A and B are shown apart, each in its own frame.
Chain A
Amino acid sequence: DVQLQESGPGLVKPSQTVSLTCTVTGISITTGNYRWSWIRQFPGNKLEWIGYIYYSGTITYNPSLTSRTTITRDTSKNQFFLEMNSLTAEDTATYYCAREDYGNFMDYWGQGTSVTVSS
């Protein structure tokens, strides 16, 4: 069964960079036609799509976040990563990784990792 698991530091200081990892089991992230996505949910429950890395390695970002977001992967570990810099309190959220099917819907989600930006 496909499973995704996020991990991260939990608490980050303003202006710093957060690095999150998504570990995928049950399928290779290089399997065709899937996109490996990052999505965040703010307090109050609004969902925001951050971006994804395609099975081929192509990356697409939300234009509103592209200047301070980097998505990468390690195929040998079947992991993909999110780096976001210049954090402010407005980046406090639960960060999810998810698999996007070729029908452009997210069919598997991780359990989420909370990121709090505070000094």
Chain B
Amino acid sequence: EIVLTQSPTTMAASPGEKITITCSASSSISSNYLHWYQQKPGFSPKLLIYRTSNLASGVPARFSGSGSGTSYSLTIGTMEAEDVATYYCQQGSSIPRTFGGGTKLEIK
């Protein structure tokens, strides 16, 4: 099983601040199979970025993703209040599918 470790687990950012969340995999993953989700309180997870760096439909351009091998990251170029959520990475490289533990992003 591929274990995904996210850091930090929680963070707070000011409006306009750039933030980066990392996702480290226990085994190398093709960049085609690393994805990110956003979950706002009371809602189901929503696809945010697929295949490392492709924005899902309707996702603002301030979001971006990068990485390869065992190290991936999600960046928000300028933090906005509506970005308050928990973010999860997920690997689709092997069975079982696994998710990172989540990064809870709050606003200062």
Residues of A within 8 A of B (CB): 37, 45-49, 60, 62-64, 96, 100-101, 103-107, 109-112
Contact = CB atoms under 8 A, between A and B. Distances in A.
A17 to B, nearest CB: 22
A47 B96 contact: no
Interface of B: 32-33, 35, 37, 39, 43-47, 50-51, 56, 86, 88, 90, 92-93, 95-99, 101-102
Given A103-B32, A103-B50, A104-B33, A109 B96 contact: no
Q: Main secondary structure on chain A at its contact with chain B?
A: loop
A49 B98 contact: yes
Given A60-B95, A104-B33, A109 B46 contact: yes
Nearest to B54: A103
Nearest to A45: B102
A49 B56 contact: no
Contacts of A112: 44
A75 to B, nearest CB: 24
Contacts of A104: 33, 35, 92-93, 97
